[in-house]
Structures are given as structure tokens and as C-alpha cells.
Amino acid sequence: MVKKSEFIWNTIASISASALSAVLLLITTRINGVDDAGMFSIAFASATVLNAIADYGMRVFQVTDTERKYGFDVYLSARWVVVMLMMAAALIYTFFSGYTPVKAAVCICLTGFRFVDALSETFQGEFQLNNRLDIAGKSVFFRMAASISVFLAVDGMTRNILISCLAMVAANLIVMCVFDVKLIKNYVKLSISRETGAIKKVLLECFPLFFSTFLNLYIINAPKYAIDRMLSYEMQTYFNILYLPTFTINLMSIFVLKPMLLSLGIMWNEKKYKKFGGIIAKMALSIVVLTFVVEAGSALVGIPLLSIIFGVNLEPFKSSLLILILSGGFSALSVVLFYALTTMRCQKKVSFAYIAAAVAGFILPGIMVSAYKITGAAISSVLISIILFLGLLIIFIYEGKRQIKK
């Protein structure tokens, strides 16, 4: 059972983490202008895709490992492997991407920010396994609050995005060391595992999750890459602003799901399949309702509100906004199914749905953006998210029936 304090702090953490990109986009748009904000946005998107390597699907796997097959030291050691691989990938990617030196440096800095996030995720997973999701929530909130505050202060003084990113990474790292590292010692011994066999097994078992996570992040950002290739930084900024209301829906899926991961893992292991399915259905229904609410609200006040907040004219893009919100609804439903299938230990089969969506993500955005600009990017986004949702739903229904019959 999730305690009230756990739910509250998880909600606060989810809001602060989801707000990060929106607030940074607001700061850069207001202080640095739409062109620099567009450059920052695509660098942020690239760092987010690279973060799939460091994330590796490990948090979900760790928290649903209720039988403690692997110890904290094994998860921490495995995490160190993947975060170092992420940084190496960032260096290689920026070298061959054709980015300007500043854009490449900003991308590497933002990847460094995700480096800290990923390490902290391992600590948060252990806190949650010890029924202290509230501590995990505090960690996220304190790090995000410090990072945003420092970025705002430094950018306000220097009007230099690169220096601001460096300062933000430092703030994130300091809070993690002061908070996470200190408190984890109350629950486990902080050490690196020498069980190379166990570390390899974790990496192998989580690989399908990494693969799916990587493809998912690519799918989400594919329209942004098409805009980066074909349109201006100004258009990139507009698209990212229009995308922000979808975070309301994704936020709902995250703060409802994360507190339930431990309980879902226990239910599945205890073969309480009906109860497990009922919770998944309720989560999905809540997302459908929220999507309609956000869609209606955005139709009424979305464009005027975003235009006032960011100081830009978004009136020509109302239809794109509504299409993107629908895309966010399908994406959030996919998150629910992804977590459910991970709990069911069907992570290998999940990859097929992501491969299908990634193929669509590789083909559709370029065609649609070339023909319809930002509206085309929005249409490609919703089509890709529908393909992913249907693929995961088919796997969920098939695997659910198959495993219940065992």
C-alpha cells in the first residue's frame, strides 16, 4: 500500500521533472530569443534520446525485482557501465552530427545532466524498494529545483546557454551527493559489486528495456529531428512550445504508475492476475479522461495562454496543438502498457512494437514536415504514437491470456 507521503512526494517529483524542459524552454526563449531556444531544444532532445542508454530501463526492472534477485551494488555497478557508455556515445554523436561547436558542447553538457539523473535513479529505486518513495521524490524535487534556479540565475547574468548548462550540471551533481549518497547509507552499504557475472545478467535482462526505451525516445523526438533538418530554429521553438501541454498527460501516467510499480510486481508474482489487470485498466481509463479534458481546455485557451507565457504568436498553430495533445494521450497509454509488460517480464516481445513505431518514425516525419511544416510534424507524431499503442496492446492481450492459462 502506498503511503500518503509517498504519493505526495512522488507527485511533486513528477511535476518538477516533467516541468524541467518546459521551464528551460521558457527561460531560453525569454532571455536568449527564439533562435537560441530552438538550438537548445534540439540539443536537449538529442541528450534525452542518448539518456536511453543511461536509463536502460533499469529503474522499472529494479523496483519490480521484489524477490531481490540482484543486490543494490549490482544495480549500481551496472548503472556505472551504461552512464559511461552514454557519455562516449554523446561524444561520438556530436562529432559526426554536423553540429556547430556550441550546439555540440550544449548537447554534451545536457547529456552530463542526464548522467547525474541516471545515477540518482539507482538510489531512488532502492529507496522505493524500502517503501520510501517519498525520499526518492524529494531527491528529484531538490535536484530539479536547484538545477532550474541555477540555470535561470546564470543565464540571466551571462545570456550564455553553454555556461548556464555547465552550472546546472554542477548543481544537479552537488544535490545528488549531499542528499542521495548520504541517505542511501541508512538502507544499504554503498559499494561497487565485483560480481561481474551478475552485472552482465542485469545488463542482458534489461537490454530489451533499453532497446525499447531508446526507440521510444527516438519516436517521440523524430518530428523534432525532421524540423531540425528542414525548418528553422524558430520553427523548432514553436513546435516545442506546442508540445508542452502533452506533458500534462504524460505526467499523469508517471505519478500514477510509479507508486504502483512495487505493488504491481507483488501482485503479478502472487498470480493475482485479475487485480493486476483491473489496476492497469483503471490507469488507462484515467489517461483517456484526462486527454479529453486537456484537449477541451487547449481548444479554448491553449494558444492564447502559451502565446502570453512565451511571448510569441502561436495563433497559426492551433490545429497542431490539438493533434499533439492526442498524440500525448496515446503515448501515455503506451507507457502504462510498457510498465505492465515489464512487470510481466515480457520485455523482449515489447521490442517488436517499438521497432514498428520506429520504422514509422524514420519514414513519416520527413515526408509530413516537407509537405505540411509544423502541422505535418504533429500529424506524424500522432500516427507514430497510435502504431506504438496498438502494437503494445496486442502484445499485452496475447501475453496476458497466455500466462493466465499456465
3-state secondary structure 318-348: HHHHHHHHHHHHHHHHHHHHHHHHHHCCCHH
Nearest to 284 by CA among 340, 244, 326, 346: 340
Cβ atoms of 368 and 376 within 8 Å: the answer is yes
Highest mean pLDDT out of 93-97, 170-174, 232-236: 170-174
3-state secondary structure the chain: CCCHHHHHHHHHHHHHHHHHHHHHHHHHHHHHCHHHHHHHHHHHHHHHHHHHHHHCCHHHHHHCCCCCCCCHHHHHHHHHHHHHHHHHHHHHHHHHCCCCHHHHHHHHHHHHHHHHHHHHHHHHHHHHHCCCHHHHHHHHHHHHHHHHHHHHHHHHHHCCHHHHHHHHHHHHHHHHHHHHHHHHCCCCCCCCCCCHHHHHHHHHHHHHHHHHHHHHHHHHHHHHHHHHHHCCHHHHHHHHHHHCCHHHHHHHHHHHHHHHHHHHHHHHHCCCHHHHHHHHHHHHHHHHHHHHHHHHHHHHHHHHHHHHHHCCCCHHHHHHHHHHHHHHHHHHHHHHHHHHHHHCCCHHHHHHHHHHHHHHHHHHHHHHHHHHHHHHHHHHHHHHHHHHHHHHHHHHHHHHHHHHHC
Which residue type is seen at 96? F
Residue 176 has pLDDT above 90, yes or no: yes
Cβ atoms of 90 and 111 within 8 Å: the answer is yes
Q: Which residues contact 123 (CB under 8 A, 6 or more apart)?
A: 136, 139, 176, 180, 181, 183, 184
Nearest to 228 by CA among 220, 239, 218: 239
| 141-150, 208-217, 327-336: range with lowest mean pLDDT | 208-217
Over the stretch 303-319, which tens digit does the pLDDT of each residue have? 999 999 888 889 989 99
Q: How far is it, in rounded angstroms, from Cα 171 to Cα 178? A: 11
Which residue type is seen at 389? F
Over the stretch 15-46, which tens digit does the pLDDT of each residue have? 888 889 889 999 999 999 989 999 999 999 89
The pLDDT of 203-210, averaged and rounded, is 87
| pLDDT at residue 149 in the model | 96
Residue 271 has pLDDT above 80, yes or no: no
- Taking each helix axis as running N to C, give the angle between helix 161-175 and helix 101-129, from 0 to 180 degrees, rounded to the nearest 10: 20
Residue 160 has pLDDT above 60, yes or no: yes
The pLDDT of 104-132, averaged and rounded, is 93
Nearest to 121 by CA among 180, 67, 47: 180
Q: Which residues contact 345 (CB under 8 A, 6 or more apart)?
A: none
Residue 1 has pLDDT above 60, yes or no: no
Cβ atoms of 81 and 203 within 8 Å: the answer is yes
More confident residue, 347 or 22: 22
Which residue type is seen at 222? A
CA within 13 Å, CB half, 186: 8
**Residue ranges covered by each domain of the chain:** 1-194, 208-406
Residue 258 has pLDDT above 70, yes or no: no
Give the rounded percent of residues in the chain with a pLDDT score beyond 70.
96
Q: pTM for this one?
A: 0.81
Residue 174 has pLDDT above 70, yes or no: yes
| pLDDT at residue 83 in the model | 96
**Residue 406 Cα distances to 83, 178, 346, 403, angstroms:** 38, 48, 15, 5
Residue 64 has pLDDT above 60, yes or no: yes
Cβ atoms of 321 and 298 within 8 Å: the answer is yes
